[in-house]
Amino acid sequence: MKDIKRLIPGAIISIVLIGAILYFVDFQTMWAAIRGANYAILAGSIVLSFLWMFMRAKVWQTLLRDKPKYIDVLFSASEGYLLNTFLPFRLGEVGRAFLLSRKSGMAFSEILPTIVIERIVDLAFSAAILLMALPYVADSQGSERIGYIVGGVVIFGLIMMYVLARNNKWALDVFHKLSLRWPVLQKIGGSFLESFLNGLTVLTDGWLFLRFLFWMTLNWFVALVAYYLIMLAFFPQAKPEWTLFVLGAAAFGGAIPALPGGVGTFEGAVSTVLFVFTGDQSTSLAVALTARLYNLLNSGVIGGIGLMREGETLSGIYQQLMNLRNKSQAEEIK
């Protein structure tokens, strides 16, 4: 029941946005736009979709200090994104850490911090891209303020993680002092916190962090080019600067509470931003749906192959994650 209650706010947001899309969109016009799209250009975006996933795996492997094999990181990352499409609460992030820990021998708690860092830096890139796009949108003072706030929060989060990484012994001592009254929490939490802080040490390795930023920047550049090609296939007049706002909005739209996979929020964010530029709501939704397919393609193919070669299913992994969570909760109660 707790999980169902947690799903309700996101479900309401998704349903409201889907209802708005159904109300404002002319589906005959949308279907005509899909049939009339430039499929030669879309083929280029498909190639970039897989290139994006290969680079994203390299981003994560760099954060993991190249300890796991690249092929294991690639399949685990793809499986995680596939899980996020169908499972609630972004369980795919936990799932890919869980799956990689079984393949690589690395501790689950050592892998998890790298995903936190990856997501925080993703937010930083999203905020930066939105700020770069705002000059092209009229009356953007309010949006600019939001962009600066998000950017500030992300930078503050990175700084705090850096401080913890540099002072991990102090942080552990503080935790042990505060948790003296709860021996079980001290035992379980202390072990997890130690591994988590060890994972954060990537922030203190300047050369490693620069390599990570290089691959992350290249990864976002590929996404920008791919999204521009998708827009160009439907709107020949599309300008490259539109992509900045569309991709930035898509990233934040995916972060809003919603049904699994950001159903409704992703489509709403992309189509609304494109409507601002084009005034064509129906064709804008066609672009949003194509972008959704672009996001599903790489994780569906590579993640699906990974699940098959490991003899796993989505429902099976979900059950394993629930068992892992229930076991942790039971240990905390004891």
Per-residue pLDDT of the chain (334 residues; tens, 9 = 90+): 566 666 677 678 778 888 888 888 888 999 999 999 999 999 999 999 999 999 999 999 999 999 999 999 999 999 999 988 887 767 888 889 989 998 888 888 788 888 888 887 887 788 778 777 766 665 555 555 655 666 676 677 777 777 877 787 787 777 777 776 766 666 656 566 766 676 677 777 878 888 998 999 999 999 999 999 999 999 999 998 889 888 877 877 666 766 777 777 888 888 888 998 899 989 999 999 999 888 888 889 999 999 888 888 777 887 887 777 666 655 544 5
Domain assignment of residue 182, yes or no: yes
Q: Are 223 and 52 in contact (CB under 8 A)?
A: yes
Domain assignment of residue 334, yes or no: no
On whether the pTM is more than 0.95, the answer is no
Domain assignment of residue 210, yes or no: yes
Domain assignment of residue 322, yes or no: no
Q: At what angle do helices 108-133 and 206-234 cross, to 10 degrees?
A: 50
Give the residue numbers spanning the domain of 141. Answer: 2-304
H-only helix segments in 179-264: 183-200, 206-234, 240-255
Q: What pLDDT was estimated at residue 224?
A: 93
Q: What pLDDT was estimated at residue 284?
A: 92
Q: What pLDDT was estimated at residue 210?
A: 87
Residues in the chain: 334
State phi, psi for 26 to the nearest 5 degrees.
-95, 110
Q: What pLDDT was estimated at residue 145?
A: 64
Total domains, the chain: 1
Domain assignment of residue 321, yes or no: no
Q: What pLDDT was estimated at residue 178?
A: 72
Q: What pLDDT was estimated at residue 172?
A: 75
Judging by beta carbons within 10 Å of its beta carbon (0-12, 13-18, 19+), is residue 116 exposed, middle or buried? middle
Q: What pLDDT was estimated at residue 129?
A: 81
Domain assignment of residue 141, yes or no: yes
Domain assignment of residue 153, yes or no: yes
d(CA 328, CA 132): 43
Amino acid at 186: Q
Domain assignment of residue 332, yes or no: no
Q: Are 75 and 308 in contact (CB under 8 A)?
A: no
Token couple for 309: 């070669």
Q: What pLDDT was estimated at residue 255?
A: 67
Q: Is 259 helix (H, G, I), strand (E, B) or coil?
A: strand
